[in-house]
Structure 1
Amino acid sequence: MIDSLPLPPAETGHGPGSPPDAPQASLPYDAPVFLVGMMGAGKTTIGRQLARLLGRDFVDLDHELEARCGVRVALIFDIEGEEGFRKRETAALDECSQRRGIVLATGGGAVLAPENRRYLKERGVVVYLRASADELYRRVARDRNRPLLQTADPEARLRSLLAEREPLYESVAHITFETGTMPVPQVLRALLPLLQRHEVNP
């Protein structure tokens, strides 16, 4: 799902099928970079810009699922329930996580399945984009494309999801990055050296 960090219209990155931009920075490995975190953490926005910076392809796992199914994630939830959606998500992650030289933004619940956590931790560099419950809710409060928040008390639901998922994000993360209220360019300037210093096991 499209995360809700502000970004100028001109900075939208390249779309599916178009070639990556010329790299302005590089990493000392071609292992994929996986972004995990809650809805609203900025995975799509930051991921797209990080991919541009590195001259890598950007993959959004939810968009990949939508392309395969021909419908929005919310409709997959409506038709198949969360269990059906998670099965499709695992199949897509298994395939996408084996691609080299990409930046991949996962859905907020991708860490729930043990096999997904194994794919992420073993196949690439996992960055947990962390933000407080208050900040996350501020970003997603008006977003109607969040099936798990279509409840009477979406803020309480978000806090409950964060409490459930945060230990899982931390268990797979090689790098944990606090996004706070930083603008995207500042996030990239701070995150890039962490990625460059990270040592990937052969």
Structure 2
Amino acid sequence: MNCNNYKNIQKLSYNDPIFLIGMMGSGKTTIGKHLAKNLNRKFLDLDHLIELKSGLNIPTIFEIVGEVGFREQESCVLNECLNCKNTIIATGGGIILSEKNRISLMKSGIVVYFKTNINELFKRTYKDNNRPLLSTKDPYITIEKMLKLREPLYLKTADLVIDTSINSIENIINSLLILLYEHKRIK
């Protein structure tokens, strides 16, 4: 990934973690890896950390402990990452369902909401077997319901919002870098 406009800038004025929130399929992991490389930060993916810690993949965790058990594990792993400086952290789409998680995110770093329209979310996720919440009769309706519930929470939690629906990864990164460099950490 070559972000020409910002390739010579190496550091933000803050070292707080940057948390990426948004629906599954919004690009948190894909874009987050590129962003971390551009900012010379470590990239962490909470879902991946949960899998490493438990030794199980996400669908198996859901089968064994259900969504409630998974959310408990997710909160635990988030708490372990709150003080990780100079990181980009991709969260799970449902991390914001817990008020405690929302407060922790807002207090601990910069929170960026990856806003994506429902059609793009569906296109990116409907064939993915690693998304247990979409194992329903009508995944589009499921995404629609989740987005309706979650979007106000994403917006309430986020310091910055970026649309990841249709732009190229490079354009999204360039736009995001502008927002991050202009953002002043005041919390």
- Give TM class, smaller chain: over 0.9
List structure 1 segments (4+ residues) > 2 angstroms apart after TM superposition. 22-26
CA 23–141 in structure 1, closer or farther in 2 if over 3 Å, else same: farther
Letter of the 1:151 counterpart: T
Asked if 1:134 corresponds to 2:119, the answer is yes
Percent identity of equivalent pairs: 42
Asked if 1:74 corresponds to 2:59, the answer is yes
Checking the alignment, whether the CA contact within 8 Å between 1:65 and 1:92 is kept in structure 2 is yes
CA 85–182 in structure 1, closer or farther in 2 if over 3 Å, else same: same
Q: Return the TM-score normalized by structure 2.
A: 0.94
Asked if 1:33 corresponds to 2:18, the answer is yes
Checking the alignment, whether the CA contact within 8 Å between 1:23 and 1:52 is kept in structure 2 is no
Q: Tell me the number of residue pairs that the alignment of Structure 1 and Structure 2 aligns.
A: 182
C-alpha distance in structure 1 between counterparts of 2:9 and 2:130, whole Å: 33
Q: Compute the displacement of 1:25 (Å).
A: 3.1
Q: Return the TM-score normalized by structure 1.
A: 0.87
Letter of the 1:149 counterpart: L
In structure 2, stretches of 5+ residues that fail to align are: 2-6
Letter of the 1:122 counterpart: K
Checking the alignment, whether the CA contact within 8 Å between 2:26 and 2:165 is kept in structure 1 is no
Letter of the 1:31 counterpart: D
Q: Compute the displacement of 1:24 (Å).
A: 5.7
In structure 1, stretches of 5+ residues that fail to align are: 1-10, 12-21
Of residues 160, 182, 185 in structure 2, which corresponds to 1:197?
A: 182
CA RMSD in angstroms, aligned pairs only: 1.4
Q: How does 1:13-92 map to 2 (within 5 A)?
A: 25-92=10-77
C-alpha distance in structure 2 between counterparts of 1:159 and 1:140, whole Å: 13
Query: Equivalent residue for 1:115?
Result: 100
C-alpha distance in structure 1 between counterparts of 2:9 and 2:127, whole Å: 35
Q: Compute the displacement of 1:23 (Å).
A: 8.3
Checking the alignment, whether the CA contact within 8 Å between 2:35 and 2:88 is kept in structure 1 is yes
Checking the alignment, whether the CA contact within 8 Å between 1:24 and 1:55 is kept in structure 2 is no
C-alpha distance in structure 2 between counterparts of 1:45 and 1:80, whole Å: 27
